[in-house]
Amino acid sequence: KNEVEQSPQNLTAQEGEFITINCSYSVGISALHWLQQHPGGGIVSLFMLSSGKKKHGRLIATINIQEKHSSLHITASHPRDSAVYICAVNKGAQKLVFGQGTRLTINP
Amino acid sequence: DADVTQTPRNRITKTGKRIMLECSQTKGHDRMYWYRQDPGLGLQLIYYSFDVKDINKGEISDGYSVSRQAQAKFSLSLESAIPNQTALYFCATSDSRGPTGDNEQFFGPGTRLTVL
């Protein structure tokens, strides 16, 4: 079993919908990351969090350390949000363990 | 200019050939990483380096070697490429000197490698 599991693996929605992507992990961590991989392949960091909630524009990330679970929310989704969203955790020594990614498609 | 660059961006080669992928960074970060990404799988760590004299194997180092020529440069070599090394390869950097020590990693644009 993967140490980091994301759900769903694929998600298609209409423009304007509220999106939730989930991440569960089975190991002790010091931080959790949400990354975005564009269709061209590049990866950018969206959030790094170790507790609570962070917000950037229309994106919100939450983490529940006790339940070993994090969610990434997108409000008022737009076609340009279409990408693969990747959850990753710091197990230690700055090494990251990655989930398989969630492919999000937002249709106009 | 991009902070983390990779060359080449795309490469097609034949089985048995030696291939080198290069990564350079202008962020001044001390830590550098090489990952591979296969369809349907998460990124997997090949090698990582915490400074010029500190090189460590990751989860899938067999068939690969690395060289940290300077703080800003980290190269990945495939000594004798095989088809199942066809993948997207990413270099990343991080800075150990942040307040928590668990800083975010900054990724290069990736190198798409095809081994025929």
Whether the CB-CB separation of A71 and A55 falls below 8 Å is answered with no
The closest CB to that of A31, out of B44, B102, B107, belongs to: B102
CB contact under 8 A, B103 and A99: no
**pLDDT tens digits, A33-64:** 999 998 877 899 999 998 999 999 999 999 99
A100 pLDDT band (50/70/90 cuts)? very high
The pLDDT of residue A91 is 79
Whether the CB-CB separation of A24 and A62 falls below 8 Å is answered with no
The pLDDT of residue A16 is 97
**pLDDT tens digits, B97-106:** 866 565 688 9
CA distance B19 to B22: 10
What's the mean pLDDT when you consider all of chain B? 92
The pLDDT of residue A27 is 84
Whether the CB-CB separation of B39 and B47 falls below 8 Å is answered with no
- Closest chain A C-alpha to B88 CA, distance in angstroms: 8
Q: Is the pLDDT of residue A108 over 80?
A: yes
The pLDDT of residue B41 is 82
For residue B109, which phi and psi values (nearest 5 degrees)?
-75, -10
User: What residues pair up with A34 in beta bridges, in sequence order?
Assistant: A47, A87
Minimum Cα–Cα distance from B41: chain A residue: A100
* Residue of A89, A94, A95, A98 best to disrupt the B interface, most CBs of B under 10 A: A94
A-chain CB neighbours of B40 within 8 Å are 100
Whether the CB-CB separation of A104 and A81 falls below 8 Å is answered with yes
Whether the CB-CB separation of B5 and B23 falls below 8 Å is answered with yes
